[in-house]
Structure 1
Amino acid sequence: MHINKASGLGITVFAAGLLAGAVHAATLTISCGAVGSELQLCEEGTKLWSEKTGHKVELVSTPNSSTERLSLYQQLLSARSKDIDVFQIDVVWPGLLAPHLLDLKPHFEALESQHFESLITNNTVDGRLVAMPWFTDAGVLYYRSDLLEKYQLEVPSTWEELTQTAQHVQEQERAAGQAQFWGFVWQGRAYEGLTCDALEWIYSYNGGTIVDADGKVTINNPGAISALEMAASWVNTISPPGVLSYAEEESRGVFQSGNALFMRNWPYAWSLGQSDGSPIRGKIGVTALPKGGEDGRPAGTLGGWQLAVSQYSENAELAVDLVRFLTSYDEQKRRALIGSYNPTLPALYEDTEVLDLVPFFGELYETFLNGVPRPSSVTGNSYGRVSNATFNAVHSVLSGSQSAEKAVQELESQLNRMSRRGW
């Protein structure tokens, strides 16, 4: 399979000189995402490594949709393609891609303990460390602090409060001439991002994690039904009808243009909202996502991305060195300061420079540390199908084509059939 490399964007980096003793400069390829400032930061990071080592790096363009990207990776790796040396992989993919990835444990034993233990565990499959943590994530709630202050309203702690607040401010802003203003934007497209959003809603209503840690399907319960009914009530009331086709960047586009009060997104959106020229610079707050009613609990889905080396790489040792550099303290700090990407090193959450620039890293440390995991570990190779069934069922509720009660019943049956065949 031919892959278009993002040359011509200044991404291929030529070093000023070769390392002493090196015979020639090798060329590595790495797949990096392009959501927010990901591509820019990856380009800068690989350039720093190139200048240090004398080797070249090319960035390979891949789909922004994590669902589409996984499909591409599976095609490439199944074909034992040498097109990509280093893969950026989602936190839920180690179990799916492990057979094709190099064991990094021998190369990182002294460094493993510096990262969040939960992420090292997540990336270890059958005793093999198949990826190193690069940045972590959990879903958070963004809000317009200036508008809450204008209308003398508190930051909501429950989804019910958020709904009421969003409705009130939306009505007031529209009456004042902001015809395109909405109360709440989020990710409603039928893709992995909707599984993340749905898990937050369901867990916050004490509805579990779709499949529990023992592999039991738990989706059919009153909490899950209440959560999905609540979310469906937002569409075309406090959320635009188009939210059903939104991913992260579409949501950010509406919020950052000043046309929404609340947004569910990942931490990367902070630095972009606070950037020069942003209409909402200095008017943003970030907090934990709401709980489902007074008896619920806040939940942010655990996200984040890792770096893995392909078993089919012709420059595996160099690829390992690139991963070591990109996941290091200095490079993760640079990414936190420039792009507000959450480090995977606990020590950086005590770094005063980082906390001064991204204060909510400290305030929401527990949210990031205790993010709610998707049921990827327990469902293993079946996780892709589990998520696909989940986001399609949830989307059917949001679009009004199916009731929440019927959707969770059918999803339960689907997942049980998968379970009987063996996760």
Structure 2
Amino acid sequence: MATIDRHPQRRTLRARALAAGAAIALLAPLAACGSDEGGVPVLNLYQFPVENLQNVVDRCNQQAAGKYKIVYQVLPRAADDQRVQMVRRLAAKDDSMDILGMDVTWTQEFASADWIKEWTGADRAEIENGTLPGPLASAEYEGKLYAAPNNTNVQLLWYRKDLVPTPPKTWAEMIQMSQQLKNEGKTYQVVTMGAQYEGLVVLFNSLVASAGGKVVSDDGKTAIMDAGAVKGLETLKTFATAGVTTPSFSNALEDDVRLAFQNGGGAFQLNWPFVYASMQSDAPDLAKNVGWARYPGIDPNTPSVTTIGGSNVAVSSYSKHPDLAFEAAKCLRDREAQKYLAINAGQPPSIEAIYDDADMAKAYPMKDTLLEELQNAAPRPRTPAYQNLSTVVAAQLSPPSSIQPQQTATDLKKSIQDAIDSKGVLP
């Protein structure tokens, strides 16, 4: 069996982005290959840019020994653009689509539209075996499995150890520490994502989940906005108006936050683990003084709950070779592939046992905290109308300083119900 080269040249975050952009330029507009190549069935994998994913594809193709050939069709970098391209092709029943690399928020939508095939029998058992429960839940719809978790992610609290010897456990404690640093004339800001986009929805969802609340019913059909959701709004409002954010908070995206903290502009950062590698390469002196901890919670006696990220792989309902596509999809997300991409592409694995491997420690020194959060991470509201829901939630929460908790909750409940019912929101 062919193996993956485990020592490709490492690149900085900027170089990775440039390389991925070049790959898109070479492949756009996407033109899927034919259904066979020299008598070998071609399986088109549509997925966002992932550094070194081609090495995984090559390994699976060698392992297939001529049974099939996977061709990596690189989607745009932006999640919205990825989804639009996939939705258009799937709605047209494009039979050149075989394997789909999907954002975790798309499972409900794609499954409800019958665009992806259910994983059953031995295939389902193989995927469920050893996969973390949070990622697995993101691949389910109405009790059935429609995708295989490929990687996962949660945000952590990053803090300056030279400013804060002990990390805060709650938002209230973090705000208090920040205000104290401010009074002492020290670096004090809490930097995180507050722009009107999915990052703000993720922030809100984590606050609601940490407060034990719900935005949508378990079946995804009814807007709830219970007391926990109101508590989440109260916490977000308090944070946005406490004088501890940067002036750019309401416009900040992930990379803006990374750069602000990396350049010495914050005492705390709430962001995904990708910031660690960036600090090591671009700000090594600062990195020596940066620690990590669990995402802050609401109640000091209750562990925080963080929104889960990541991606899943699914088999298109229109594939000409569905059996081979399932086989190939399993290879693309197996233990070897996930460990390789964890170390060489910054994608935390969805298979729990990989975190115990010795060579994970260098790439993920924060892996124990990451795994602890992943054990009880929260999915985003699971509804086929998630794209609509996310649009209206981001709009009504922006800017966070304007939130009026009880009134905003009432308005959100109506808007979310309209979104679920597909009223007045463009997909």
Normalised-by-shorter TM-score class = 0.7 to 0.9
Amino acid aligned to 2:24: A
Distance 2:378 2:234 in 1: 19
Give the TM-score normalised by structure 2.
Answer: 0.77
Inter-CA distance 389–7: structure 2 relative to 1 (3 Å threshold): closer
Indicate the residue corresponding to 1:101 in structure 2: 116
Residue 416 of structure 2 aligns to which amino acid in structure 1? L
C-alpha deviation, 1:103, in angstroms: 3.0
Residue in 1 that maps onto 2:9: none
Q: 2:120 is aligned with what amino acid? A: K
Superposed displacement of residue 170, structure 1? 5.5
Correspondence 1:192 to 2:198: yes
Count of residue pairs the alignment pairs up: 385
Change (3 A) 1:79 1:246: farther
Letter in 2 for 1:409: T
Asked whether 1:224 is paired with 2:232, we answer yes
Match of 1:250 among 248, 256, 261: 256
Confirm or deny that 1:166 pairs with 2:178.
yes
CA deviations on 1:87-137 (whole Å, 9 max, x unpaired) are 221222211001111334357245222323454454233565321111122
Whether 1:140 and 2:156 are equivalent positions in the alignment is yes
Partner of 1:309: 315
Label 1:408 to 1:295 Cα distance change in 2 as closer, same or farther (>3 A).
Answer: farther
Q: Distance in 2 between matches of 1:32 and 1:62?
A: 9
State how 1:17-416 maps to structure 2 within 5 Å: 23-24=38-39, 28-34=43-49, 39-50=50-61, 52-53=63-64, 55=69, 57-64=71-78, 66-82=79-95, 84-98=97-111, 99-105=114-120, 108-112=123-127, 113-125=129-141, 128-148=144-164, 153-169=165-181, 183-204=189-210, 206=211, 208-213=213-218, 217-219=223-225, 221=227, 222-233=230-241, 237-275=243-281, 278=284, 280-294=286-300, 297-314=303-320, 316-355=322-361, 357-376=363-382, 380-396=383-399, 398-400=400-402, 402-416=403-417
* Aligned-partner residue type, residue 223 of structure 1: K
AA at the equivalent of 1:412: K
For residues 38 and 213 of structure 2, the distance between their equivalents in structure 1, rounded to whole angstroms, comes to: 56
Partner of 2:12: none
- Seen in structure 2, the aligned counterparts of structure 1 residues 364 and 260 have a Cα distance that, compared at 3 Å, is same
Tell me, yes or no, if the aligned pair for 1:31 and 1:59 is still in contact at 8 Å.
yes
Query: What is the deviation of 1:269?
Result: 2.9
Q: Which runs of 5+ in 2 are unaligned?
A: 1-21, 31-36
Shift in Å, 1:362: 2.1
Letter in 1 for 2:394: F
Distance 1:239 1:41 in 2: 36
| Alpha-carbon RMSD | 3.3
Unaligned runs of 5+ in 1: 13-21
Question: Partners in 1 of 2:192 and 2:419 — Cα distance?
Answer: 29
Change (3 A) 1:393 1:295: farther
